[in-house]
Amino acid sequence: MNQISEEELLAPGHRACPGCGNVLAIRYALKALGKNIIVCAPTGCMEVVTTPYPETAWRVPWIHVAFENVAAVASGVQAGLKKLGKRDIKVVAIGGDGGTVDIGLQALSGMVERNDNVVYICTDNEAYMNTGIQRSGSTPFAAWTTTTPVGKVKRGEDRPKKNMLAIINAHGAPYIAAASIGYPFDLIKKVKKAASIEGSTYIHAHCPCGPGWRFDSSKTIEIAKLAVLTGIWNLYEIERGEFKLTFKPPKRRPVADYLKVQGRFRHLTDEEIAEIQRMVDEECKRLGIE
Amino acid sequence: MKKFITGNEAAAIGAKLARVKVISAYPITPQTTIVEKLSEFVANGELDAEYMKVESEHSALSACIGAAATGVRTFTATSSQGLMLMSEIMFVASGLRLPIVMTNVNRSLSAPLNIWCDQQDSIAVRDSGWIQLYCENNQEIIDSTIQAFRIAEETLLPVMVCFDGYILSHTTEPVDIPEQDEVDKFLPPYKYPYSLDPEHPVTIGAVGVPDFYEEFRYMLQKAMLESRGKILEVGQAFNKQFGREHGLIECYRSDDAEVLLLTMGSLSGSVKEVVDEYRGHGERVGLVKVRTFRPFLAKELAEALSNAKAVAVLEKDFSPGSTGALFSDLSGALANAKKSPLLLNFICGLGGRDVSVNQIREAAKAAMEAAKTGEVKEAVRWLGLRETMVGLKP
């Protein structure tokens, strides 16, 4: 089961930052999916770093159209393949959090409502990193970004992270999963499962971003793991409405362990950390994690 | 087979005869009955296509792009606000050189909200890199729709077929509907040379860095300019097979004309009547109808206008702060001409207001006056305007 393809379908030499979490998510996803796919991408870091003409890092067919429409493009691709009788080819849309939870939400809602045969993967680095760390609907509570600065009267992002999985679940998607690049086997397994199911399936992968979250490029995996070990990001899947945790931290670590290693949370007071801990505890309780 | 059908039915039947494989559209007045008709064809099994029920026009065109890139023939239809919502993606469709065909049923733009006819919508996207054909009647709609697929696929450019909302979209006219086997002979199966295929991976829509972007844009310009020849060639091939010619421009009683009226779309029909009337009085008046607005036919128009003394451009659009779009493009086209007529611009029929024969006469008279005196009194005039309401008169 833990046999992972050694073939790299995303070629090295692309322009991503060292320690990029998104690139890892894509690399793992492609290993899970194999070659018989068509990838659709919105505008974002991953599009920019992988396809500066005349170069491309993609060893599978790939199309980019615009920022807010990747789900609609993917829907069109699968409709075309259907008419060509090429039902064996899987269509995969891979977008960032901005292109998924904010500007791309309408198109994604349409795609999932139609239950078009597409695997949608959101690589969530919790802000608009491509344009320079502006907040998105996926930015967590209290995080500093360039549009949620910490000043005399404001203390970073004032709203909690949008629960995208609940939104997709409300559409009745046959399979949705929360994953993390800190747990590659879990991520690969989920992508494989998503691809094996006919219809719109959705994977939300937590992908730390060194430059945006303000940590050293060597710490990406450590921070991804800490998110799960503290319970601020949890690994689960919902298959045809049935919820299942795919990883349960043995003993949840305090959320401060996750927050204190990132510059974007540097401004937090003990009271603010306690407030975040309370929010995390509540969410973990809801998901059945101690 | 001759049948009485509306303009919208003509567009839907045209798309069906082209055997489109993916239709992705969102309803908007007055285009709605096109997508209704097409979904009916699909529901009845008369058309073997995917009808995608998208949630917006933005997604409608995005889905067409995805489908066209896999190597199937795609079609969408819209109007007005829907076209505006699509506009971002229109530029991408042409930049990616995907031969998508779209019907635009011409309708005004908000605000104020108005669902009736004018051509401000398609004029607003004239720079999107789509070929734009304007139809005078329902026969032209069905013929142009069929031709549009061949033009698009042979130039790798998207094509918009435009026609006037209500005036054509909801008006029944006798139309000769081509037979399916004849259309099949005219329009070969869709082939896209760079389709998305795991056997031969391609990257579509890469980042065009400053070192390359300009060349890509020039290639689009070159393709647009060269499409002129293809539109003509396809028109001739169509004429040979179906016996109906629709060229780049149509010149009506214009050979010896001193005064020319120039317009696009359904207004041409009324203008022809006025031309006949003046000809009856021995006045040398003619019409030049622009069927192809993009690419803009600078050479053809300069030639067609070269013997006229004055030209009245009647159009259902304007660029706020400037003139009508047809007028400004025409002015540019004549900039270096050896012989160039005086130009007058008449903005008319906005938001579905009827353009009366009297108003067309008014434009013709002003042009005749200019031809006689060699002077243009008023370069841009709005026909039928309530001057007291807008503060031009007390």
Contacts of B125 (CB under 8 A, 6+ apart): B83, B87, B90, B160
Q: Does B338 lie in the same domain as B266? A: yes
Per-residue b/e over B57-72, b at no fewer than 16 CB within 10 Å? bbbbbbbbbbbbbbbb
All residues at 6 or more sequence positions from B297 whose CB lies less than 8 Å from its CB, including other chains: B228, B248, B249, B290, B333
**Tens-digit pLDDT profile for residues B185-244:** 999 999 899 999 999 999 999 999 999 999 999 999 999 999 999 999 999 999 999 999
Of B242, B273, B291, the position where a domain reaches its end is B242
The parent domain of residue A216 ranges over 21-287
Q: Which chain A residues contact residue B56 at CB under 8 A?
A: 106-107, 110
Domain membership flag for residue A176: yes
Residue B97 CB neighbours (<10 A): 21
Considering the domain boundaries, does residue A16 fall inside one? Answer: no
- Region A94-114: what's the mean pLDDT? 98
Using a CB–CB cutoff of 8 Å, tell me whether B59 touches chain A. Answer: yes
- By DSSP bridging, strand A62-64 and strand A37-41 are parallel
Give residue A3's pLDDT band: very low, low, confident or very high (50, 70, 90): confident
User: CB contact, 8 Å: B314 with chain A?
Assistant: no
The answer to whether the CB of B107 falls within 8 A of the CB of B144 is: no
Please indicate if any CB of chain A lies within 8 Å of the CB of B96.
yes
Number of domains within chain B: 2
Give yes or no: residues B260 and B233 share one domain.
no
Q: Look at residue B234 in the predicted model and tell me its pLDDT.
A: 98
Residues of chain A found within 8 Å of residue B205, distances taken between Cβ atoms:
51, 63-65
Q: B73 near B190, Cβ under 8 Å?
A: yes
CB atoms within 10 A of CB B344: 26
- Which residue among B242, B275, B308 closes a domain? B242
- Expressed as residue numbers, the domain containing B301 is 249-382
Answer yes or no: is B344 within a domain. Answer: yes
Q: SS3 string of chain A?
A: CCCCCCCCCECCCCCCCCCCHHHHHHHHHHHHHCCCEEEEECCCHHHHHHCECCCCCECCCEEECCCCCHHHHHHHHHHHHHHHCCCCCEEEEEEEHHHHHHCCHHHHHHHHHHCCCEEEEEEECCCECCCCCECCCCCCCCCCECCECECCCCECCCCCCCCHHHHHHHCCCCEEEEEECCCHHHHHHHHHHHHHCCCEEEEEEECCCHHHHCCCHHHHHHHHHHHHHHCCCCCEEEECCEEEECCCCCCCCCCHHHHCCCHHHCCCCHHHHHHHHHHHHHHHHHHCCC
The verdict on B220 and B327 lying in the same domain is: no
**pLDDT tens digit sequence for B114-142:** 999 999 999 999 999 999 999 999 999 99
Helix H or strand E encompassing B347: strand B342-347
Q: Do B195 and B96 fall into the same domain?
A: yes
Asked if residue B280 is part of any domain, the answer here is: yes
Beta-ladder partners of B106: B164
* Nearest beta carbon to residue A80 from set B48, B70, B202: B70
Question: Distance (Å, rounded) from C-alpha B56 to C-alpha B54?
Answer: 6
**pLDDT exceeding 70 applies to what percent of chain B?**
100
User: Which of A47, A78, A110 shows the shortest C-beta gap to B59?
Assistant: A110
**Residues B250-287 pLDDT 10s:** 999 999 999 999 999 999 999 999 999 999 999 999 99
- For residue B53, the chain A residues in CB contact (below 8 A) are 114
Stretch B310-338: mean pLDDT:
96
B218 lies in some domain: yes
Show the tokens assigned to B195.
């389709």
Domain of A91, CATH number, reads 3.40.50.970
* pTM of the predicted model over 0.95: yes
pLDDT at A1 over 60: no
Residues B219 and B258 in one domain: no
Q: Which residue among B195, B212, B242 closes a domain?
A: B242
pLDDT tens digits, B71-117: 999 999 999 999 999 999 999 999 999 999 999 999 999 999 999 99
Asked if B88 has any chain A CB less than 8 Å from its own CB, the reply is yes
Q: Is B31 helix (H, G, I), strand (E, B) or coil?
A: coil
Is residue B344 over pLDDT 60? yes
Per-residue pLDDT tens digits for B7-24: 999 999 999 999 999 999
The predicted pLDDT at position A2 comes to 63
Backbone dihedral region for residue A184 (phi beyond 0: left; psi -120 to 50: alpha; all else: beta): alpha
ipTM: 0.97
Domain count, chain A: 1
Q: What is the CATH number of the domain that holds B80?
A: 3.40.50.970
Query: Contact at 8 Å (CB) between B343 and B371?
Result: no
Hey, what are A269's tokens? 């007071």
| pLDDT exceeds 70 at position B158 | yes
